[in-house]
Every structure is written in structure tokens, then in C-alpha cells.
Structure 1
Amino acid sequence: MPNGDDLDARFNELVAQIDEDERRRMRAAASRGARAPRSDKATRPRRAGRGLLAAGLVAAVIGGATVIVAARPDLLTPQVGSPGPVPEETQPVMAAPEAAGVETATPEPTTADPFAGSPAEKYAEGAAGFVLPKAKALGGLSKKDVAKALDRTRKLMTAAFLDRKTLMGGKPKAFMKLLDREQRVWFQKYLDLKKRAKDDFDSRGWVTSFAPKTAQLSTDVIKVKGRTTVAKARKYGRSGAEVKLNYLVVYAVNRPGQPTTTIRLVTHRVGSVFVYREAGELVLWLKDWSKTSTPVRCDVGDFFIHPAYDDSAPDAVKPSGPPSNPYDLDDDKHGKKDDKDRCWASDPT
């Protein structure tokens, strides 16, 4: 068995076999990998993620001789009838071992498993992710009343965020059926307004709907994570209970008929439901149901979701602020009045 000195000598001899032309080709390949994204795409979160990944690969190539050898294992293992050097266009670029404390980029979604490698991979599927607290008597309501209110809230969330017809931009009939009669009339009146002032409300924002012909679900699986809380409350001069919801709902979507454009789209849904009794009836009154979504276009003024695909045209409105983590359940960008129409920068999904 050769000793350490022999191995070192053999190593140096093999590295020396890499002539200057080969080194130039490897440096050229590294430079191509490091090429910065075009400026018109730099603010798009998914582009930014790819830029960081490219920089990491370049660091792996120029980091030292050991990485060069990793990219050319044939130098250490002589083979009979070896076809010779791999053409420049097909040479693999090997990433260096991950540095301690450095996060790796989230893998791009695939059509086979679009959630693989993302935080959503471990989320529950569909309505199973809407976790409810144990019912108890609160605010003058019986335990049975609270249990009924929690169950109806879960049905409201399912209809608002998971109903296929609603998701594809159709009329949210399943959601409307669950609303209190008075609120149902109001919801229908403000749904998909054809003409509205800049500050007018559109009730479409209370449900998740992709703009027609902009998206189709890449899979029947929708990932859900979050929490529901309930506490006694007094609102509108009445005593009762308030149910609060805070959920991440993650979809895999693609351009209609183009499965290779699949992206993960994360929505953060928050809202509250005030529960009380009036004239012998249990009333659920929805308040402040809102959402943030990413990656979406910022330059569209309606209340539908317009996904931003990797090949989408540059957005006329640029996101603002430092990028936020779309999977952060406690990131609150919903409640501030001056931020309600703001387009925030986001990390890749």
C-alpha cells in the first residue's frame, strides 16, 4: 500500500496533467456560471434565488485543487480506453461542501413532487391542516355553540382557500352559502366590481382565486399549516367569542397546459370570526380576512392572484422593503392600513 508521501507525489503529478488550456476552459465555465441575472429580473424573488445559487457554484470551482479534482475524477482513476476529457459544454460543476451556518437555496419545484425540499413538504394536506382548538364555554356561549362555530369556521376556510371552482376564478358559491344571510348580501354586492374607486373594497380578496386563464393546479395536493385560536370577546355591543385564523396555504401551479412552468405559490391568510347569539340564532360574522401571496405580479389592480412565473414579463411595480420569508407564519404584513396595497419583496418559495 503506498504511503502518504507517495500519494502526495501522485496527486501533484496528476494535477500537473491539467494543462493551461484546460484551466482556462474551467475558468471560463465558472465565469459563465457567475454571470449576474439581468437587471430587469433582479427584484423577482425566484431570480434572486438562482443568482445566489450560481455564485455558490462558482466558489466551489475556484476554491482549490481538491475541488478541481472532484470535477475531474478521471484524473485520479486511470481507465483503459478512457474517452478523454469531457467536452467543455458538458463538464459537471461540483458544489463544495456546505459551510456551517449557511442556508442552501430551496430546490426548484418539479412536476413529480412540487413541494419536495421546501418547508411545505412537511405541511398537512388540505383541510387536515386547519387545526382547531378544543371547544369550551366562552363569552356567554355554551361549549356546544363554540364547537359549532369552530366547525363552521373550518368549513369557511375550506371553501375560501381550497374549493377548486373558487381557486380557478369562479363564483365562490361554496363560501357564500356559509356566510350569515346579511353578510352574504354584502359579499355578493362587492364581488368582482367592474368599476370601483382606488380605495373600494372587493370581496374577492376574502377567498383565494387565481385570475382566469393564468394558472392551473399542478397537483391535487394543497399544503396547509397554521393555527386557530378562540377567546371571549365583546364587539358591536354584544358579548361572544372571537375565532382567529392564521394559516399558510401553499399551492403548486403552472401556466395552463404548460406543466414545466410549475411554481410553488404561498399565501398567508389571516382573519377573525366574531361569534354571538341573536334572536336565538348563532351568528358568525367575518372580519378582516386578508392575504399576502408570493410570487405574484404587483402591477395588476384587481383582487385575483396573478402568479409570477419564471418566464413572466418584468413587473411594472417593484417590490419594496427587505425580502421577507414567505413561510414565516408570524410575519405580519396584514394589519397596517398604510401597507394594505403595498407590494413587499419576498424570498424564493
Structure 2
Amino acid sequence: MSEHDIDRRFKELTSQIDAEERERMARAARREWAAHPRNRRRRRWRLTALVTAVAVAAAGGVIAYRPDLLEGVVTALSERLEKGSRPAPVPGPVPEETTPVKVSPFEGSPAIDYPEGVEGLAMPEAKATGGLSEKDVATALKRTRELLKASNLDRRVLFEAGHKPFSRLLHPQIREWFLKNLDRRKPREDGFNTRYWLTSFAPETAEPVTDVIKVHGRTKLSPFKSRGRTGVRIKVNYLFVYAVQRPGQPHTAMRVVAHNVGEIEVHRENGELVIWVRNWNSEGTAGARCDVGDGFVHPSYEDSPADREVAKATGAPVDPYDLEDETRQEGCRLTTGT
């Protein structure tokens, strides 16, 4: 019997399976799907491999990730083969495999509709303000965008405990202060651990599960006059949403939301354009542990040890995707989830 004859015979036999049998197999497939762990169904963004039911020939719905369900098809076919007419074992047509459905790790959250990466760092139109020229304002806005990108999107800062992509953009005096206080366990009285100005995941605690980082926010311009200086005040307010997991452990995938509220003052001094960062990355991170104070982000995975600070948290849970929440409350805050 030729391969063509085997293929034709297979199709003839599968067409003989009646509707009742096809429904029985479909019900079996649905029961298998329902039996999957609930966290795979309820929390689709956990990046579990989701699959769908497919039709194998005319046999009805069969789940590709459970090959044992195909036994029903094999049995039905074998019973319909005339006695003595079974062909010798030869490779037959392979049922079409189901391609896993790729579900975004941001599915089920507001971040699904956010722009990706630098596309979310929208800047206002540059215009002459506060005694500065349009060119000066454009330069300041470009630097602001670069600072946001370096502190919240650069992989060297995020996952390698780096700082240079950010620190090299700072005014020399601010840079000196920043580096002097970077990763200080006990900062001096006139400073603090400047690692908090960066979104840096603690070494060996996280890796990205996707190259995509979702970004949502805004930048505002206004003139200012203070301490004998006039210029432009730039206020940034952005959410950065990351999908991370423990290194090598895809089942731990989760989202972390960092809220960067910052302020920059821009003025001219002795002919030089001064871009002075006054505050940065001040609104904290949702999905991170509260009981570690080293300036790094320690993701709070579902199986992480209990957070000692959570029990002390007061007040109603806040929405981590609320761009307007700038209460600057110190300490640990509960959220409605990431």
C-alpha cells in the first residue's frame, strides 16, 4: 500500500467517526484543560505555555499538549480497519501540532495598552520659556529623556547593578554627590543611598522575561524663579512596568511597576546651560519587598519569605498604575496588585 493510499484510507476512516464520538472526545479535551493548575488559567500573564484545541483530521477537538488523548482516535481507527487489512507499520501522516499561544506578560493589566520603551517617553514641544531660548529648552528636554531612559530602561542599570549610563548625564557637581553616596549602607548626614535614583534589580534576583518594558507618563514644563535664578522647571511622572522572573525559573514570572517622579531645574549661569536634577525616581516600586533597604529592587515573588514590613503597612491599598498618586508616603504601602 502506497503512502498516498494510506493517507486516503486514514481520511476515509476518520470521516466515519460519528458526531457523538467527536463530542465525547471534545468533552474529554475540555476536562483536561479544566484540570490544569488554576494559576495557569487565572493569571495568564505568568507566561505559562497556553495552547488551544485543534481538529485532527475530522476527529474533533484534541488537545495537542496531551498526546495520550490521541489514543481514542487510534482505537477508533483500529476498530474500523477490516480484519487482515491492516498495513505494515509505516510512517503515516503526522497530526498538525498546535503552536503555543504567545500571551503578553502585560495581559490583564493597564500596561497592555502602554507604549513600549522609549516610545513612552513623550516630551512636550520645546518653546522659549523662563528666559531660556527654544534651543536651550530642547536641549534640556533631550537630556531629561536620556536620564529617564538611563535610570529605568538601560539593561546595564536594571540587571547589572550599573550606574554609568545615568551618572555620566548628571551635572558634574551632582555627579560627584551621586557617586559619593552610591550604594552606601550608612549614608552621610548630608546624603542618602543614591541607588534609589535608579531602578536596579538586586543581583541574581531577577531576569527579564521579555525585551519589552511598558512605559506610561508625562513631562511638564513651567517657568521658575528661585534663589536669584530664572529658568525652566521640568517635572517628570512616569510608570515603568517590567516582566521579570527568578533567573532560570519561568514559573515565577511577575510584573513590577516603578513610579518615577522627578524634578529638574534648568537655567543659565556664567553663559553655561545648567541642567540640575533636584529629585528623581521618588515614588517607589510596586511588586518589590519593603524589608530590604539597600536601594535595589528585590521582587516579591509568590513563594518569597514573608515581608516583615508588610504587617506594619497602614492605609487602604493603592493602585500601582495610578499616575496621579504622588502622596510620597514613607514606608511600606499595600497595593491592589501589579
Q: TM-score, normalised by structure 2?
A: 0.70
Which piece of structure 1 moves more, 283-292 or 240-249? 283-292
Whether contact under 8 Å (2:283, 2:326) holds in the other structure is no
| Pairing partner for 1:139 from 130, 145, 155 | 130
Equivalent position SS for 1:344: coil
2:185–2:294 CA contact under 8 A, matched in 1: no
| Equivalent residues of 2:181, 2:187 under 8 A apart | no
Cα shift readout 1:3-24 (whole Å, capped 9, x = no counterpart): xxxxxxxxxxxxxxxxxxxxxx
Mapped pair 1:293 → 2:285: yes
Mark the structure with the bigger radius of gyration. 2
The question of whether the paired residues in 1 share the 8 Å contact of 2:150 and 2:166 is answered with: yes
AA at the equivalent of 2:121: F
Q: Does 1:173 align with 2:154?
A: no
Q: Tell me, yes or no, if structure 1 residue 346 matches structure 2 residue 322.
A: no
Residue 219 of structure 2 corresponds to residue 232 of structure 1: no
Seen in structure 2, the aligned counterparts of structure 1 residues 253 and 198 have a Cα distance that, compared at 3 Å, is: farther
1:75-122 CA distances to partner (integer Å, 9 max, x unpaired)? xxx946959x97xx96949xxxxxxxxxxx875432642112221111
Structure 1 distance, partners of 2:33, 2:140, is: 61
- Aligned: 1:303 with 2:291: no
- Name the structure 2 match of 1:220: 211
Unaligned runs of 5+ in 1: 1-77, 94-104
Partner residue, 1:156: 147
Q: Which moved more, 1:108-117 or 1:210-219?
A: 108-117
CA distance in 2, matches of 1:238, 1:144: 19
**Which residue matches 1:126?**
117
| Aligned counterpart, 1:324 | 318
Q: Quick one: which amino acid aligns to residue 210 of structure 2?
A: T
Structure 1 residue 230: deviation in Å? 0.5
User: Which residue number in structure 2 is paired with residue 110 of structure 1?
Assistant: 47
Q: Deviations over 1:212-247 (max 9, x none)?
A: 111111111100000001010123321000000000
**Identity of matched residues, %:** 47
CA RMSD of the aligned region, Å? Answer: 2.7
Change (3 A) 1:157 1:82: closer
SS of the equivalent of 1:284 reads: strand
1:194 corresponding residue in structure 2: 185
Cα deviation code 1:258-303 (max 9, x no counterpart): 1221101111110110000111111111112113211111111211
Kindly provide the amino acid, as one letter, of the partner of residue 217 in structure 1: P
Letter of the 1:294 partner, please give it: A
Q: Counterpart amino acid of 1:346?
A: T
CA apart distance, 1:186: 0.6
Contact 2:185/2:193 (8 A) holds in 1 = no
State how far apart, in whole Å, the 1-side matches of 2:157 and 2:301 are: 21
- Residue 272 of structure 1 aligns to a residue whose secondary structure is strand
Choose which of 323, 333, 340 in structure 1 pairs with 2:327: 333
Distance 1:118 1:310 in 2: 18
SS in 1 for 2:156: helix
* C-alpha distance in structure 1 between counterparts of 2:120 and 2:292, whole Å: 30
Is 1:254 the equivalent of 2:253?
A: no
Q: What is the distance in 2 between the residues matched to 1:123 and 1:145?
A: 30
- 200-209 vs 185-194, greater mean Cα deviation: 200-209
Q: Distance in 1 between matches of 2:191 and 2:185?
A: 11
Instruction: Compute the TM-score of the two structures, normalised by the length of structure 1.
Output: 0.68
* Separation (CA, whole Å) in 2 of partners of 1:206 and 1:320: 25
- Rounded to whole Å, the distance in 1 between the matches of 2:240 and 2:124 is 19
Contact 1:229 1:243 in 2 (8 A): yes
- Structure 2's unaligned 5+ residue stretches are 1-18, 36-41, 49-101
CA distance in 2, matches of 1:193, 1:240: 33
Aligned counterparts of 2:190 and 2:272: Cα–Cα separation in 1: 34
SS at match of 2:132: coil
Distance 1:255 1:156 in 2: 27
1:64 alignment partner in structure 2: none
- Contact 1:109–1:116 under 8 Å retained in 2: no
